[in-house]
Chains A and B, each alone.
Chain A
Amino acid sequence: MKTRILGFVALVAVAAAAGVALFVVPADLNQGDAQRIMYPHVASAWLAYLSFGVTALAGIGWLWRRDLRFDAAALAGAEIGVMFTAFAIWGGMMWGRPVWGVYWQWEDPRLTTTALLLALYVGYLLLRRLTDDPERRATRAAIVGIVAAVDIPIVHFSVEWWRGLHQTATIGSPDRVLNPAAPMVFVGTLLGMLGAFTLAWLYLIIRRYQLARAEVQREEAARLDRLVSARTAEAVR
């Protein structure tokens, strides 16, 4: 029931944040209406980091405690992270074409490392399909999830470390928290979108975790059934 209420609140919040971003906040003087894409684009990118962070931490949790609930959380983080990374890339492309003149540029470190992040976690999800043994799957996935998370700070700081098309952080950099490189109305709208998307993320991660747990329990029940059938067949012989 509480999760349902969270889902409803998230829906209202996302609709309100999108309404403000599209119809209330003025267009940027230099970038025009295209700048409105920045709000869901940045929110998606931050939630991708958060999701993959959950996957890495849950992976550590599994390796440490051997509790399959950690693996379910890791899977939830990875699947939702892949979705938000794809949204961030799509939003970036739709913003890049009118502002930079190109959809994509492989020479840009932020774009390339983000594409790598997407590929790494799509690989993570594919890897999980290679075995039916929940424990072996969880161990393999945990290692890949932890190693792949190394790319998260590389993506984030790529705009500071290397030159490229992508702008540096507007509010995400420690020295810009109190002095953001954008008018407060834009920063407030971005924070509103970030809050709304985070509520939606929270709802989705809870639901995906519940699904992962239900799937593992079903797998376990099927394995037990097979075991019982095999033993019964042996006993009959």
Chain B
Amino acid sequence: MTDVGFVIAAYAVILGGLGLYTVSLWRRLRATRRRDDEAR
């Protein structure tokens, strides 16, 4: 793999991971709040 390939792999995983974690957190929070609302 070339240097550019390593750079792409590093940024893709770090930025992609950050994005995926943010979305999953968002969804977990929304699901929890929705369940709380339904319980009320």
Q: Which residues of A contact B (CB under 8 A)?
A: 7, 14, 18, 22, 32-34, 36-37, 40-41, 44, 83, 86-87, 90-91, 94-95, 97-98, 200, 203-204, 207-208, 210-211, 214-215, 217-218, 221
B15 CB to closest chain A CB (Å) equals 6
Task: Select one of B11, B17, B26, B33 contacting A22, CB under 8 A.
Answer: B11
A-B pair count, CB < 8 Å, reads 75
For the complex of A and B, list the 10 residue pairs with the smallest distance between their C-beta atoms, beginning with the closest. A94-B10, A33-B3, A37-B10, A214-B32, A34-B3, A94-B6, A87-B14, A40-B14, A211-B29, A91-B10
Check B15 against A40 for contact (C-beta < 8 Å): yes
**CB–CB A221/B39 < 8 A:** yes
Complex contact A208–B25 (CB within 8 A): yes
How far apart are the CA atoms of A54 and B4 in the complex, in Å? 35
Task: Name the prevailing secondary structure of the A interface residues.
Answer: helix
Given A40-B15, A215-B32, residue A22 in contact with residue B25 (CB < 8 A): no
Interface residue ranges of B1-40 to A (CB < 8 Å):
1, 3-4, 6-7, 9-11, 13-15, 17-18, 21-22, 25-26, 28-29, 32-33, 35-36, 39
Minimal beta-carbon separation of A120 from chain B (angstroms): 20
Our pick among B4, B6, B11, B21 for the contact of A18 (Cβ within 8 Å) is: B11
In the complex, the chain B residue whose C-beta lies closest to that of A90 is B13
Interchain nearest-CB distance for A192 vs B (Å): 15
Jot down 28 A-B pairs with beta carbons below 8 A, ordered by A.
A14-B15, A18-B11, A22-B11, A34-B7, A37-B6, A37-B11, A40-B11, A41-B10, A83-B17, A83-B18, A87-B14, A91-B14, A94-B7, A94-B9, A97-B6, A98-B3, A200-B18, A200-B22, A203-B22, A204-B22, A204-B25, A207-B26, A207-B29, A211-B29, A211-B32, A214-B32, A214-B36, A215-B32
Which residues from chain B contact A98 at a C-beta distance below 8 Å?
3, 6
Most buried by A among B1, B9, B25, B39: B25
Chain B residue numbers with a CB within 8 Å of A22 are 7, 11
List of B residues within 8 angstroms of A86 by Cβ = 17
CB neighbours (8 Å) of A34 from chain B are 3, 6-7
Known: A22-B7, A90-B10, A91-B10. 16 other contacts (CB 8 A): A18-B15, A22-B11, A34-B3, A37-B11, A87-B14, A91-B14, A94-B7, A95-B6, A98-B6, A200-B18, A207-B22, A207-B29, A210-B29, A214-B29, A214-B32, A218-B32
